[in-house]
Amino acid sequence: MSQVKVTLVKSVASRPADQRATVVALGLHKTNSSVIKEATPQIKGMLHKVEHLVKVEEI
């Protein structure tokens, strides 16, 4: 599987609870924090849900 680097670029303040929970489930906590994840269908779905808050780079 390929990997993706996910960076939180916008704050989750004043966002719906499900979007905040998705960001936390991805392992992101503060703005500009990054994590590397496997590009599974589950992760891709989570990224699609919060695509306006994160930056995704293929590794």
Domain range summary for the chain, segments of one domain joined by +: 3-58
The reported pTM is: 0.91
pLDDT tens track, the chain, 59 positions: 799 999 999 999 999 999 999 999 999 999 999 999 999 999 999 999 999 999 999 99
What is the C-alpha separation between 9 and 33, in angstroms, rounded?
8
Q: 48: helix, coil or strand? A: helix
Q: In what order do the strands lie in the sheet with 3-8?
A: 34-38, 3-8, 54-58
Topology (CATH) of 3-58: Ribosomal Protein L30; Chain: A, (3.30.1390)
